[in-house]
Amino acid sequence: MEKHAQKRQQIIETAFKVWGEEFFFKTSLTTLAEALGSSKTALYRYFKNKDSLLEAMRQDFLRVHTHICLETSQAAEGKNFEERLDLFQQKFLRFYAENYWYYRFASLFLLPNTAEGFQQLEEVLQLQNGMFPTDQLQAQLGWSEQEAPVVQRFIFSVGTFLLNRGNTKEVQEMRQLSADELLALNEKLVLEGMRGHTELQLPDFEAVERACRLEIEDLLPQDPLFAAISKVVAEEGLWDASLEQIARAAGMSKSSLYFHFHDRNEMLWKMIDNERHQLGTLFLERSREMEGFEERSYAFFAIFAWYLARRPEFLAVMNWFRFQQFHIKIPKHMKGGMDRYIKFLSDGLESGELRSDLLDAPNIARWINYGLIQEINNMYWMEGLSEKIWPFIRTTYKLFLFGVEGAGDEKK
């Protein structure tokens, strides 16, 4: 590599590390130049502006990610599922666990907003899925052709959920994991799921879905301000959604917003808090007569799916929340408040219906929400939300309880 190209690559790699420490929300060329022992002016000999550097970083990330996927897939040829999972963990997951700045960058900058971006993301997903081929999931583990893509997404969602611990500045109820701890936890969740020592049976899926069915009139009327926030964030994206736009959509002035919120941070958290309490209340109402843990736990999945299907504009916010909310601190007066909605998870841990050595109740709830948002978001972008979502939600539930291997006859 000639000297100019070497220096350019050094700048890119240093930017990942320096800016990654600040979660890429402080992308100062001055700070980067100081880390390189150079001047800000010198950087312009290699990149015409910060945006061109960020695009170069995006392309470099895609190069690194593609290399890892291809290397893992090649090494996995002829291997069974367990061996493939071990290779995936050692080559793929360990890399991101030990180089968090790459994962943080992907969380913020890889979500596509152009046709080219969607094409690139689709190519990335195909490479990832190639590490766990559909035909092997069918032949070795008994998953159907329809279920196999859900299984592939599940494997990656477990890893990214655990990696998100490293994306959180203020770790709340989640201790930072070492790479070895992350890999060990990932393996148990993927292979075995959360089922405890108590025997569990699958619920009557259709009956629970019917009992949890929501219509628009079942939802509380949206506060005009919350509706405006959802609308602008869904239309403009979080980082381009300005207070002026939100105020205009709500028929207010920007200054009047501060009678409601101290800043945008509190505004967004208030919206999330309002919606999650509405979700929780609906879950308690619909699951009140359900006695078995299996029914109540699937009702949690079903209510979440119905809610987002009826309020798709909130899905855009929740999708952002899943990927990009890690740097925002929760206002003290908004912490907690979900205990009574997830009591069934705490009860399941105490009774042995859920295993208690992996995650506590709040983190189990977060994991469920994370996986559901992934499946619902995938359905939403592929063909819009519809009744067709239920086979995917049911498969996600089976994976949550029994894992990829542990489902056994429960898959049928």
What CATH number did the domain enclosing 327 receive? Answer: 1.10.357.10
Asked if residue 180 and residue 129 are part of one domain, the reply reads yes
Domain assignment present for 384: yes
Measured on CA atoms in the order 125, 130, 135, 136, is the torsion positive or negative? negative
Domain assignment present for 198: no
Question: Looking at beta carbons, which pairs linking 239-242 to residues 24 or more positions away fall under 8 Å?
Answer: none
Domain assignment present for 73: yes
Which of 192, 213, 238 terminates a domain? The answer is 192
Q: H/E/C letters for each residue in the chain?
A: CCHHHHHHHHHHHHHHHHHHHCCCCCCCHHHHHHHHCCCHHHHCCCCCCHHHHHHHHHHHHHHHHHHHHHHHHHHCCCCCHHHHHHHHHHHHHHHHHHCHHHHHHHHHHCCCCCHHHHHHHHHHHHHHHCCCCHHHHHHHHCCCCCCHHHHHHHHHHHHHHHHHHHHCCCCCCCCCCCHHHHHHHHHHHHHHCCECCCCCCCCCHHHHHHHHCCCHHHCCCCCHHHHHHHHHHHHHCHHHCCHHHHHHHCCCCHHHHCCCCCCHHHHHHHHHHHHHHHHHHHHHHHHCCCCCHHHHHHHHHHHHHHHHHHCHHHHHHHHHHHHHCCCCCCCHHHCCCCHHHHHHHHHHHHHCCECCCCCCHHHHHHHHHHHHHHHHHHHHHHHCCCHHHHHHHHHHHHHHHHHHHHCHHHHC
Read off the pLDDT band of 68 (50, 70, 90).
very high
Residue 354, beta-bridge partner list = 195
Which of 192, 224, 257 terminates a domain? The answer is 192
Q: Indicate the burial class of 327 (C-beta count within 10 angstroms; 0-12, 13-18, 19 or more).
A: middle
Lowest mean pLDDT across 28-32, 119-123, 360-364 = 119-123
| Mean pLDDT of the region 305-331 | 65
Asked if residue 174 and residue 232 are part of one domain, the reply reads no
Tokens 């220096």 belong to which residue?
7
Domain assignment present for 199: no
pLDDT of residue 173: 46
Residue 334, pLDDT > 60, answer no
Please count the structural domains in the chain: 2
Asked if residue 172 and residue 266 are part of one domain, the reply reads no
Instruction: Give the other-Cβ count within 10 Å of 402's Cβ.
Output: 21
Cα 255 to Cα 301: distance, rounded to the nearest angstrom: 39
Q: For the chain, what percent of residues have pLDDT higher than 70?
A: 81
Which of 162, 192, 222 terminates a domain? The answer is 192
Its domain, for residue 348, covers 205-411
Q: Which residues contact 142 (CB under 8 A, 6 or more apart)?
A: 411
Residue 318, pLDDT > 60, answer yes
Asked if residue 215 and residue 188 are part of one domain, the reply reads no
Evaluate if pTM is beyond 0.75.
Answer: yes
| Mean pLDDT of the region 22-36 | 87
Asked if residue 134 and residue 266 are part of one domain, the reply reads no
Q: Residue 47: left (phi > 0), alpha (psi -120 to 50), or beta?
A: beta
Read off the pLDDT band of 237 (50, 70, 90).
low
Tokens read off for 391: 């086979």
Asked if residue 129 and residue 243 are part of one domain, the reply reads no
| Mean pLDDT of the region 334-356 | 86
Asked if residue 305 and residue 156 are part of one domain, the reply reads no
Asked if residue 332 and residue 229 are part of one domain, the reply reads yes
Asked if residue 272 and residue 227 are part of one domain, the reply reads yes
Domain assignment present for 200: no
Domain assignment present for 386: yes
Domain assignment present for 258: yes
Q: Cβ distance 143 to 74 under 8 Å?
A: no
Tokens read off for 149: 């893509």
Tokens read off for 133: 């081929």
Domain assignment present for 223: yes
Average pLDDT, the chain: 83
Using CA atoms, how far residue 145 sits from 133, 186, 330, 403, in Å, is 11, 24, 41, 17
Asked if residue 263 and residue 162 are part of one domain, the reply reads no
Lowest mean pLDDT across 149-158, 231-240, 337-346, 361-370 = 231-240
Asked if residue 142 and residue 238 are part of one domain, the reply reads no
Asked if residue 144 and residue 122 are part of one domain, the reply reads yes
pLDDT of residue 335: 56
Q: Which of 194, 195, 192 is nearest to 82 (CA)?
A: 192
Backbone angles phi, psi at 80, to 5 degrees: -80, 180
